[in-house]
Copies of this chain bind each other. A is one copy, B any other.
């Protein structure tokens, strides 16, 4: 299978081939109606009563359960809300408290920077001499020594798409007595994940990429059911309290991952995310993966045949590659701008990486071939030389 019958669920502009769903998924058609409903019928009509009558209080858990189904997690083990950065902080805080005698956070040099910034911020606030170690990704397993408190990795590298072996790394972490945290930012909705089988203690992720939840959609956090009862959250917000509306003076954590909720949930964005998740109904992640691999292999073949000046930086072996394909070129920034101007939307990551997200929910083989043709043209005609494609913007 190289395409899935879901393209009509998305509202893509005419002429656009969207290869940036790994950065911001496109608008699901269902989102507009759901947003209108939550505004008019819930907020507008039910007002404060909607916390009960429209089920807002339970919305984070309901959405969490839908995400759980996509990442191999048990019902009740995924909480939603906040941003991925906050969820990283919560997972790290919980993990470090589980291994108070150990002082190393092991990550890798390819991790998304905010994960490391949040780790450093937590370390500085704790002030107990923790440190971050970031070997190259291929050296992580050999770096898991018995002073490692927690191994925290993004499963799919945001630049290259290289995938860590979740099972093997988690086993190595546990063998050394370390806690395992997976960042699934580029995994959830992109590749099959089986958190339960991995036995990892924590996982976090965002929902605005492959899950198409919209700009700034809420993040999620998973905790293994047998460890959550021991977690005393640093971010002890009232929505994680066992009885939020008792307004008690002291904090009593809620059962299960509900305690990793913090403040008032972003009801409108959660509702839109809920509607976006409909696109996954009736599909298995294995089906999506099969389509992604076929499209990605075809994309690599087409681009390499047409553009010998581009260097593949994603793993050629689909088994080691997430749902994106990256090529390097010294003019990558300008080339991406030239492509965007022609409606082929990918993105650029420093220093020289052209990223293309392969998202079979709304891409098919014809899109992939057309994109490769236009990439060929940009380099053949040196379209990228135009001055307007060489102005750096804040976001690409």
Contact = CB atoms under 8 A, between A and B. Distances in A.
A308 B22 CA distance: 63
A137 to B, nearest CB: 14
Given A124-B234, A206-B264, A36 B47 contact: no
A32 interface: yes
Interface residues of A, number: 95
B39 A27 contact: yes
A345 interface: yes
Contacts of A216: 264-270
Contact of A117 (B13, B52, B236, B245): B236
Interface stretch (A1-9, A79-87, A148-156, A173-181): A79-87
A219 B272 contact: no
Contact of A48 (B24, B127, B262, B264): B24
A86 B235 contact: yes
Interface stretch (A194-202, A246-254, A299-307): A246-254
| Most B Cβ at <10 Å: residue of A81, A206, A216, A239 | A216
Interface in A11-44: 11, 13, 16, 18, 20, 23-24, 26-27, 31-32, 35-36, 39-40, 42-44
Contacts of A32: 36, 39-40
A40 B11 CA distance: 9
B121 A235 contact: yes
A75 interface: no
27 contacts: A11-B44, A13-B47, A20-B47, A31-B39, A32-B36, A35-B36, A49-B340, A49-B345, A56-B215, A57-B395, A81-B83, A82-B86, A83-B264, A85-B238, A85-B239, A93-B125, A112-B247, A114-B238, A117-B236, A124-B234, A125-B126, A216-B269, A217-B266, A244-B394, A247-B350, A266-B266, A266-B269
Given A26-B44, A134-B249, 16 more contacts: A35-B35, A36-B36, A42-B215, A57-B394, A83-B263, A85-B238, A86-B262, A86-B263, A93-B125, A114-B263, A118-B236, A124-B232, A214-B268, A216-B269, A245-B394, A266-B269
